[in-house]
Chain A
């Protein structure tokens, strides 16, 4: 009886805050064998978009409208970051034979699918993901109601799986405030 009560109590504790996970500063997982160091703490806001697939985790400090980091932790070929709403509305997907250029395109198209307007990449540059090569690039976009956004993203393909870190925030105040911290996170990704 006592055991049952403890389990009940614990499950209450766990589910009570299910929608608002705190991710404390330190190491976070980017999938099996991969990780990244965070400086500050983050909130898990993956729930804010129902269409995300299992490989996706979304972090935010001030809410998804003000800053978000979309982590893709080993996406299998044939899968996308989003689930299609129905058969006639396919979503951008990752393919095993995609070129680096097409990985960048996947990020741009997925952000467009999420409702961001005029998503553009800029300044593709080399980066590393542990021992593997990665592509880093800048992003600009606008919300439907015209708020300008800036971002940085990084893509790496390791053993046929795609690893992404996509940071996007309003260009006014929020992006410049977190830019250095997020770049440090990306630099630590392996």
Chain B
């Protein structure tokens, strides 16, 4: 009896807290065929320096470099997988229905972050990764003929040398101080159906610096691990 209850508890707790695969079930989406064209939406990067006092000081050069390197890194990794993705900048298309689809993409992305990667779970989404933008995504294809779009967002901070010194001092008095960290999220959308086929988020390791071409490509490779591409 006791064992049974214990097992039940574990099961229930696991049911509430497990991280599921963030890939849509095969029946929800048409497979991405090799060689099919895709759109890589110009990555957004928000990178900053963490000053001694803990202020985040936006670095335009890092952000710009990372966005460029990530675009190239993702394109290179996708080309390796025989998926040519053309870089597109959709930031000027916020008017009309296209703008609505792009805003909906943000809302869906925020929701996925909350319920697939955060502490909360939606019981109505318990059966598997099943998110969509609806068929409005067809508008994003334009005349590109692309079937898929990949959205990439990076954010993060790096500590200033002064802050690293502070860390040592703080460790002595036992105060935890956040140092820098960088995360990268990517979402692959089927433009014909609007389904989010796959979504991933990675915390960058110390070796993968997205401000360099090599680091950005290495990050792209690790984020794309497990992508149905």
Could you list which residues of chain A lie within 8 angstroms of chain B, going by C-beta atoms? 2, 5-6, 9, 12-13, 16-17, 19-22, 40-43, 45, 60-63, 65-66, 143, 145-148, 170-174, 177
Tell whether A20 pairs with B123 under 8 Å between CB atoms, given A146-B99, A172-B100, A172-B104: yes
Q: Please determine whether B124 and A9 come into contact, CB atoms closer than 8 angstroms.
A: no
Q: Please determine whether B9 and A13 come into contact, CB atoms closer than 8 angstroms.
A: yes
Within 8 A of A (CB), among B103-158: 103-104, 106-108, 110-111, 114-115, 119-126, 131-136
Contacts of A21 in B (CB 8 A): 123
Tell whether A177 pairs with B99 under 8 Å between CB atoms, given A22-B124, A41-B124, A147-B104: no
| Interchain Cβ contacts within 8 Å, total number | 97
Q: Please determine whether A62 and B131 come into contact, CB atoms closer than 8 angstroms.
A: yes
Chain A residue at smallest Cβ distance from B124? A43
Whether a CB of chain A sits under 8 angstroms from the CB of B101 is yes
Whether a CB of chain A sits under 8 angstroms from the CB of B15 is yes
Nearest first, the 7 closest Cβ-Cβ pairs linking A and B are A173-B134, A22-B123, A63-B111, A147-B103, A9-B5, A65-B107, A43-B124
Tell whether A173 pairs with B104 under 8 Å between CB atoms, given A5-B5, A17-B16: yes
Whether a CB of chain A sits under 8 angstroms from the CB of B2 is yes
B interface residue count range (under 10 / 10 to 19 / 20 to 34 / 35 or more): 35 or more
Whether a CB of chain A sits under 8 angstroms from the CB of B12 is yes
Q: Please determine whether B115 and A148 come into contact, CB atoms closer than 8 angstroms.
A: no
Q: Please determine whether A17 and B108 come into contact, CB atoms closer than 8 angstroms.
A: no
Contact of A62 among B2, B5, B6, B111 (CB under 8 A): B111
Whether a CB of chain A sits under 8 angstroms from the CB of B1 is yes
How far is the CB of B190 from the nearest CB of chain A, in Å? 14
In the assembled complex, the Cα of A41 lies from the Cα of B1 at a distance in Å of 32
Q: Please determine whether B114 and A43 come into contact, CB atoms closer than 8 angstroms.
A: no
Q: Please determine whether A172 and B134 come into contact, CB atoms closer than 8 angstroms.
A: yes
Contact of A20 among B97, B101, B108, B121 (CB under 8 A): B121
Contacts of A174 in B (CB 8 A): 104, 134
Chain B residue at smallest Cβ distance from A59? B124
Whether a CB of chain A sits under 8 angstroms from the CB of B8 is yes
20 A-B pairs with CB atoms under 8 Å apart are A9-B5, A12-B9, A12-B12, A13-B9, A17-B16, A17-B123, A20-B120, A20-B121, A21-B123, A22-B123, A42-B124, A43-B125, A62-B122, A62-B124, A63-B122, A65-B111, A147-B103, A170-B100, A170-B107, A172-B104
